[in-house]
């Protein structure tokens, strides 16, 4: 990627977003850092010494499609390009059991986690298509691959985000654009404050998160997510698209060229139902591909 590349990062003032921004700045990229109240942030404290010259703070609520349209138009107009879109804005939304959470409250998380991401992709894509290049990374999360009791709106919205991402990747694969979703793991962030504030409504997650906060054990470092982003944008993972990759568990840093080629050519590390049609090409791989071992 060119040293003059431009990235839009939503949720940029959060722990994950700001850590990723620092990594992109280290690659001499320009960063448009987006959050609802981004303009109140101290750039060098959040993004590192010397970041002021390469970071533009933008206030935008991604759940408002018109604000997102204006954001992408501003970026393309100000810099003449839009190379990377990284959607890190997210919320747990309503916490509680299905018995407890009212439908209207449950739906609200989708406005940020899914519709916000969709709007960002929709309004960024014309600039990427015109340039015949672009890279999109969507931050998925817990519940994308399995049930998450008492967090059903978060889980459902993130699972939908993963499916949206691989559908998007398929649509744009002939346009020079790639799209992937990533799983950061449990990062100690403001979202965990939301979980702890929910108390008993968070079910078994409340005592677990309380212990994690008290001991510091069990959290995934945000730097792991930045490592994965770096792998996908600047490293050997540039060839991958339509994947759902875990920063914490996938061991991508040690993948060899043959492994990455096999992963790119199959549905390994994608959101799929486990059935014979899906599994057949995966179990036919050589042992060790993507750390997958035949039994």
For 279, the enclosing helix (H) or strand (E) is: helix 276-283
Residue 147 Cα distances to 133, 151, 153, 154, angstroms: 35, 9, 11, 10
Question: How far is Cα 50 from Cα 64, in angstroms, rounded to an integer?
Answer: 32
Direct distance between the N- and C-terminal alpha carbons of the chain, in angstroms, rounded to an integer: 40
DSSP for 215-275, please give it. H--SPPPHHHHHHHHHHHHTSGGGG--S-EEETTTS-GGG--HHHHHHHHHSSTTS----S
Catalytic residue among 92, 118, 127, 154: 154
Q: Establish whether 74 is a catalytic residue.
A: no
Give how far the C-alpha of residue 47 lies from the chain's centroid of Cα atoms, to the nearest Å: 18
Question: How far is Cα 267 from Cα 219, in angstroms, rounded to an integer?
Answer: 29
Q: How many CB atoms lie within 10 A of CB 223?
A: 15
DSSP for 73-109, please give it. HHHHHHHS---EEEE------S-B-TTTS-HHHHHHH
Q: How many CB atoms lie within 10 A of CB 70?
A: 14
Q: How many CB atoms lie within 10 A of CB 7?
A: 26
The answer to whether the beta carbons of residues 227 and 251 sit under 8 Å apart is no
Residue keyed to tokens 């040690």: 254
Catalogue the active-site residues. 154
């Amino acid at each position: 990627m060119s040293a003059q590349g431009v990235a839009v990062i939503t949720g940029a003032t959060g722990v994950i977003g700001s850590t990723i921004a620092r990594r992109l700045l280290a690659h001499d990229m320009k960063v448009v850092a987006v959050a609802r109240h981004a303009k109140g942030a101290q750039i060098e404290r959040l993004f590192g010494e010397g970041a002021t010259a390469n970071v533009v703070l933008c206030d935008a609520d991604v759940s408002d499609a018109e604000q997102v349209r204006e954001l992408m138009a501003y970026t393309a107009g100000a810099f003449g390009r839009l190379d990377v879109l990284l959607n890190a804005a997210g919320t747990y939304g309503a916490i509680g059991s299905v018995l407890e959470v009212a439908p209207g409250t449950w739906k609200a998380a989708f406005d940020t986690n899914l519709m916000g991401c969709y709007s960002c992709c929709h309004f960024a894509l014309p600039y990427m298509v015109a340039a015949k290049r672009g890279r999109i990374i969507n931050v998925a999360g817990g519940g994308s691959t399995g049930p998450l009791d008492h967090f059903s709106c978060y889980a459902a919205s993130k699972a939908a985000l993963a499916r949206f991402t691989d559908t998007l990747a398929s649509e744009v694969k002939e346009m020079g654009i790639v799209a992937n979703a990533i799983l950061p793991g449990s990062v100690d962030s403001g979202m965990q404050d939301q979980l702890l504030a929910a108390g008993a409504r968070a079910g078994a997650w409340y005592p677990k998160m309380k212990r994690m906060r008290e001991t510091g054990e069990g959290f995934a470092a945000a730097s792991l997510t930045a490592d994965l982003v770096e792998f996908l944008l600047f490293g050997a993972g540039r060839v991958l698209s339509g994947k759902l990759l875990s920063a914490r568990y996938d061991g991508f840093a040690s993948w060899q060229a043959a492994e990455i080629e096999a992963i790119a050519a199959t549905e390994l590390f994608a959101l799929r139902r486990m059935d014979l049609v899906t599994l057949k090409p995966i179990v036919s791989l050589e042992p060790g591909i993507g750390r997958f071992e035949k039994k």
